[in-house]
Amino acid sequence: MATRLKRVVVIIAVALNLMALTASAADTLVLIDRSGSMASNFQSGLAKDLATRMLKAAETTGKADLAVFDVEWHVIPGLDSPEFATFGKDTYLDKTLKQFKDKYDRIWLLTDNVQDDPASADRYDMSSFYSTLQAKEIRTIYVFPLRQSPGNAGLMIYAISTGEDTRKLEQQVNTFQRPGQEFKFEKLAMKPLNENVIQVTIIDVEINDAKILHEQKSLRIREGDPLKIETRVRIEPKYPHLYFESSPVTPSRAGTPFKCLVADKPESDINPNQVQTGTSQEYRVTVDFGRVHLKKGPGCIWEAAFGHASESADIETPITVTIPRNNFKLSKTFLADYVASSESEAKVTGKIFGLEKLPGYMAPETTKVPIRIPYRVVVQYPSWPAIVLSIGGVVLLVLVWLVIKLLSGISFAPHFTAETEDRKPLPTLVRDKQVFVSNQLLGSIQSNEFTPAPGVRLDPDLRVADIGDSPLICVLRDGQRIRLRAESGQKPRQKAPTRSTPQKRSAPPTKRTTR
Amino acid sequence: MNGSIAASRARWTLATVFTVFLLINVVVLTLAFLAQLRNDPSKLPPHLGEEVSVGVRLLVIAIGAVFSWFLARMLFKHLVVQDVSPGDSVGPAYSLLSYLLLVLAAYSFLGFGTWLWLPGLFLIVLVWSLISLWSLVGWLPMIVALVLAALTAFFSWVIMT
């Protein structure tokens, strides 16, 4: 029993130790170059200061290991270890990095950027080191160049991340750059060098040869106007330390996406003309569709008349700029400030050796930069469809009304019947808008209104009366009262009073007679 | 009904309707002028949106014209009942109808193309109404209406700026 208990205790202790070891395993390594060319930096204390700062930054996200290297590498317990200031002669940057890149998620490297390569004709050839940095496993690299006073070669600090998640590296870099420390370092992005480091700026837009604000994003033209969009685009690196040379552009075509409008040219070529400026590349992208017209189909004419006042559509002008790896360069200003062309020049000037080739290794074979310039074009429909259809509609309504009237036997002139107060019908005739009753002029009709003739008055006493208000009571000079009734324009076919028939047949009274 | 009272009633009816219509038009015109001057469409008086088709705008005008015509007819009858001769009643009734149509036209077509037709038409309608109303209404109510219109234009301008 006691033996079994002892075994369990031992197993638990071993498991706990393993867990503790796993938990405390460092995922960041700080590598310090201690080759012979770095000796002066150790003697001045600069190497230790920088190593301390790098270690502090690395420990922001957890435990960090410290190692020194020349042609060999040694993980050391701390900066006070006697191994720290023991110098070698040559430096194998590439071999050291290859040794550790698979073991740590992040590596901080301090070096004077001198790679000893006995296999190469050029003794200080950096190609093999840069090729190692080019490896797929290394995803992110920031560099911090430190120019020194003449007599000491400049130093480089590389912050490298092998993992996809770069948040911890960013955290460490922020700690490293925290203000209030002795040296002010500028973070220079070096990998990945792809479309993420490229900035596309639309400088100006001309629509039909008139400049518009790009912020407007939409253009309003009238049907029949030309549609020509000319855009000036600038492509430049986001960071001032980078520069890229002129690169080819793939032309494309753009189509008109309108529903009820048609352009002279249904498709337009997009031919970007390249303009190289001092620090950036500019392209003039032209899309010309010719004039835009309304489609003549009935649906589109109806849409233009009663649907909407305008039609809008997005026009894209897609072009792709292809930047080959070797076109990525360091900017002229950065080269002048930091980069020495030889190891001896680096020592004399305090600049850094071999940096000029670095961007060419960090970029992919080709970087394609898609540029999309979407524009919302609003084309105002013409007014003629509305006017033509409205006039047509009115004409049609009038025709329908006329046909209905004709078919149903409705008279166009209002028809009147008159009777005495005893309801005796009186002969009535309407001629030239004048109403005659028993051959006597009773009044005239104008626009549906009855005006009594001289000597006749209306009861109630009105100058005019609406014939819709019938029966109208007309009082003659002799006091006789006549009820005048308008019959809604309907011709009485069978209702004609028998007594009035003979009078109706008589000749109509002339104005002179009635007067 | 006493003839002089009837004439007096007609006179005041005309003066009131004229003043109200004139003031509405003055406010609309002032706001339109201000919006044009500031190049700010948000200052325009209420109007149909940019996307409303020409056909619908014309339809609004047509419906408004029918409505205005009925109102003018009512006014015409009212004037005739008030012992104004039919010949004298036609001018005022239809010039006041034009004010209403002008407001509807502004509602339909402001913010859609040019606006210069509005002050042009307003001037024509103003001159027409002044000529047709002057003899019926008399100079004092007309001057009062014009002064009120000027004050309304001034205060509309001050408030909106």
C-beta of residue B17 within 8 angstroms of C-beta of residue B140: no
Nearest to A305 among B54, B62, B81 (CB): B54
Distance from CA of residue A77 to its chain's centroid?
55
- What is the Cα–Cα distance from A62 to A29, expressed in whole angstroms? 11
Q: Please, what is the angle between helix B86-109 and helix B117-137, to 10°?
A: 160
Reply yes or no: is the peptide bond before residue A385 cis, omega within 30 of 0: no
> Does B86 contact A389 at a Cβ distance shorter than 8 Å?
no
* Residues A421-438 as b or e (16 or more Cβ within 10 Å = b): eeeebbbbbbeeebbbbb
- What is the Cα–Cα distance from A486 to A365, expressed in whole angstroms? 96
> Does A309 contact B77 at a Cβ distance shorter than 8 Å?
no
C-beta of residue B51 within 8 angstroms of C-beta of residue A308: yes
- Domain spans of chain B? 3-160
SS (H, E, C) A22-51: HHHCCCEEEEEECCHHHHHHHHCCHHHHHH
> Does A381 contact B54 at a Cβ distance shorter than 8 Å?
yes
> CA A170, A174, A176: angle at the middle one, nearest 5?
115
C-beta of residue A37 within 8 angstroms of C-beta of residue A112: yes
Nearest C-alpha neighbor of B56 from the set A261, A396, A393, A225:
A393
- What is the Cα–Cα distance from A412 to A488, expressed in whole angstroms? 10
Residues 6+ apart with CB under 8 A from A78: A66, A84
Q: What is the pLDDT of residue B21?
A: 92
Determine how β-strand A434-437 pairs with β-strand A261-263. Answer: unpaired
Q: Is B48 on the interface with A (CB under 8 A)?
A: no
Q: Is A449 on the interface with B (CB under 8 A)?
A: yes
- What is the Cα–Cα distance from A38 to A373, expressed in whole angstroms? 51
> Does A462 contact B53 at a Cβ distance shorter than 8 Å?
no
C-beta of residue A291 within 8 angstroms of C-beta of residue A221: no
Q: Is A245 on the interface with B (CB under 8 A)?
A: no
DSSP state for residue B113 in the 8-state scheme:
S
Q: Could you tell me which residues are beta bridge partners of residue A475?
A: A457, A481
A444 Cα to chain B: minimum distance (Å)? 13
Map tokens 């948000």 to a residue: B42
Nearest to A462 among B56, B81, B112 (CB): B81
- What is the Cα–Cα distance from A142 to A133, expressed in whole angstroms? 11
- What is the Cα–Cα distance from A379 to A259, expressed in whole angstroms? 11
**Which phi and psi angles does A105 have, rounded to 5°?**
-80, -30
Nearest to A309 among B83, B86, B112 (CB): B112
Q: Which residues of chain B have pLDDT under 50?
A: 1-6
C-beta of residue A300 within 8 angstroms of C-beta of residue A308: no
A380 Cα to chain B: minimum distance (Å)? 9
> Does B55 contact A390 at a Cβ distance shorter than 8 Å?
yes
Q: What is the pLDDT of residue A357?
A: 85
Distance from CA of residue A319 to its chain's centroid?
16
Q: Is A305 on the interface with B (CB under 8 A)?
A: yes
Q: Is A452 on the interface with B (CB under 8 A)?
A: no
User: Which string of DSSP letters, residue by residue, matches A267-322?
Assistant: EEEE-PEEEE-SSSEEEEEEEEEEEEEE--SHHHHHIIIII-SEEEEEE---EEEE
pTM for this model (two decimals): 0.58
Q: Is A457 on the interface with B (CB under 8 A)?
A: no
* Residues A357-386 as b or e (16 or more Cβ within 10 Å = b): bbbbbbbeeebebebebebebebbbbbebb
Please name the residue ranges forming H helices in A377-510.
384-408, 501-505
Q: What is the pLDDT of residue A498?
A: 36
The amino acid that residue A473 corresponds to is: I
Collapse the DSSP code of A184 into the 3-class scheme (helix H, G, I; strand E, B; otherwise coil) and give the result. Answer: coil
The amino acid that residue A445 corresponds to is: I
> Does B54 contact A386 at a Cβ distance shorter than 8 Å?
yes
Q: Is A385 on the interface with B (CB under 8 A)?
A: yes
Collapse the DSSP code of B1 into the 3-class scheme (helix H, G, I; strand E, B; otherwise coil) and give the result. Answer: coil
Token code pair at residue A262: 């048609």
Q: Is B85 on the interface with A (CB under 8 A)?
A: yes
Q: What is the pLDDT of residue A311?
A: 92
What number of CA atoms fall less than 13 Å from residue A366's CA on the CB side? 10
Nearest to B55 among A305, A451, A463 (CB): A305
Q: Is B83 on the interface with A (CB under 8 A)?
A: yes
- Would you report the helix, strand and coil content of chain B in percent, each value rounded to 5? 85, 0, 15
Nearest to B53 among A305, A462, A464 (CB): A305
Q: What is the pLDDT of residue A361?
A: 86
- What is the Cα–Cα distance from B125 to B74, expressed in whole angstroms? 20
Residues 6+ apart with CB under 8 A from A239: A188, A189, A197
- Note down pLDDT in tens along chain A; length 515 residues: 556 766 766 666 555 544 544 445 888 999 999 988 888 899 899 999 999 999 999 999 989 999 999 888 899 998 888 888 787 778 888 889 998 988 999 999 999 988 876 666 666 778 888 888 988 889 999 999 999 989 889 999 999 998 878 899 999 999 998 877 778 888 888 888 888 888 888 888 887 777 776 556 677 888 999 988 888 888 888 888 888 777 777 777 778 888 899 998 877 777 677 666 666 778 888 888 899 999 999 999 999 999 998 998 888 777 888 888 888 888 888 999 999 988 889 989 999 988 888 888 888 888 888 877 777 888 999 999 999 999 999 999 999 988 987 877 655 566 788 888 888 888 888 877 788 888 888 888 877 788 888 888 888 888 788 877 778 889 988 888 898 888 754 444 433 333 333 333 333 433 333 33
Q: What is the pLDDT of residue A194?
A: 80
Count other C-beta atoms under 10 Å from residue A309's C-beta: 22
> Does B86 contact A463 at a Cβ distance shorter than 8 Å?
yes
- What is the Cα–Cα distance from A171 to A188, expressed in whole angstroms? 15
> Does A463 contact B58 at a Cβ distance shorter than 8 Å?
no
Nearest to A309 among B50, B81, B85 (CB): B50
Q: Is A335 on the interface with B (CB under 8 A)?
A: no
